[in-house]
Amino acid sequence: MQHGKRVLVLGGYGNFGKRIVESLANLDGVKLIIAGRDISRASILRDELVRKALSATFEAVALDIFDPEFEHQLKQIAPNIVIHTGGPFQGQNYRVPQACISVGSHYIDLADDRRFVCDIHKLNADAIRNHVLVISGASSVPGLSSSVVDHFAPQFSRIDEIDFAIAPGNKAERGEATVRGILSYTGHAFKVLRHNEWVDAYGWLSPRTLFFDKEIGKRFLADIDIPDLELFPQRYPSVKTVRFQAGLELPILHYGMVFMAYVAKLGLIKNWASFTKPIFKASELLMPFGTDIGGMQINLRGANQDGQRLHVKWVLGAKDGIGPYIPTLSATILTKKLLSGELSLSGAMPCLGLYTLHDFDDEAKGLGIYHHMEQRLG
């Protein structure tokens, strides 16, 4: 069913895009189109993959999502599926998914911006009318995070609290667009559900340390704005508290971000995103330090089916710099489901409940990614 299908990856040579292209490269009969503004980088990756004699075929194209002719160019390419990795999504409008709907292409993105993901339903009627599926947030959050919560939810009669975190290793490859997205909300207020009340939290404030496991150890964390903070209270109605944090492994980088957040909160700097390039270059100088082990932790607290207090702790770890693959696996899983016909929905929606934790395990095989769970009663 996938023979002759065309999959276009926007930002296909970037930090996440190239990993998606590599993950799909063994699909027989599929053409992978590596797209972005820099045709030379797209061509270099295409040539590397062609030399490996993989099952898929490859094409490199120059494509700028901000070009007034973008929709026309997309129509000429005629992809069956478009995977949008060209962040940061903070501040982006819906021109890319709208263009995909217009030309009849399914759309998947790796967005982690709260408004971009949570408001994607505004395109639902158009997507249904054109028989396409538009999925936003096919990444670590809310894609993987919701799959984990869904997996353990049947153990609970009531989930009261979801407290989760992501902690990348300092040596793991990172992209400038990711850094720009993080800086855009550093020190800025956003709403979170705490003890059944919506209150303000601030990006990169409320720092703490959290133990993951023996491999990952303790990591520094701070509050981060993500779609899950809004989506999870809707999806799991009994929840009274949803908390998400992330952090940087090196204290100098992590507490540098915390300091920058205080400066922004005081109004001395309006938006740190304008300083992305020097901050990114400074962080690159410190890449030889720290480890290449990253982790994700999800804590669920509530009552089990017998009414007893239950705490489930789930930890995922990624060794050998594999961490940047994790945000890409949701998009890879969903692309394969669309190509095989297993996923036949139409409409526009956040990436919630569209694949299982078992699907994730199947896709993550061989990557050096592990996860484990422990639970406590009382």
Q: How many angstroms separate the CA atoms of 296 and 210, rounded? A: 11
Window from 18-27, 178-187, 309-318 with minimum mean pLDDT: 178-187
Q: What is the pLDDT of residue 144?
A: 98
pLDDT confidence of residue 2 = 66
At 326-337, the pLDDT tens digits run 999 999 999 999
pLDDT of residue 60: 97
Question: How confident is the model over 57-72, as a mean pLDDT?
Answer: 96
DSSP string for 306-344: TS-EEEEEEEEEE-TT-GGGHHHHHHHHHHHHHHHTS--
Say yes or no to pLDDT of 176 above 90.
no
Burial of 199 (0-12, 13-18, 19+ CB in 10 A): exposed
Q: Name the burial class of residue 218, with classes exposed (0-12), middle (13-18) and buried (19+) by CB atoms within 10 angstroms of its CB.
A: exposed
Confidence of residue 173 (pLDDT cuts 50, 70, 90): confident
**pLDDT tens-place string over residues 79-100:** 999 999 988 898 899 999 999 9
Average pLDDT for 30-44: 97
Calculate the average pLDDT of the chain.
95
In this predicted structure, what is the pLDDT of residue 303? 98
Do the bridges between strand 57-62 and strand 31-36 make them parallel or antiparallel, or are there none, so unpaired? parallel
Domains and CATH numbers, the chain: 6-139+325-364 (3.40.50.720), 141-322+368-377 (3.30.360.10)
Mean pLDDT for 353-366 is 95
Encode pLDDT of 97-150 as tens digits: 999 999 999 999 999 999 999 999 999 999 999 999 999 999 999 999 999 999
**Euclidean distance between CA atoms 124 and 121, whole angstroms:** 5
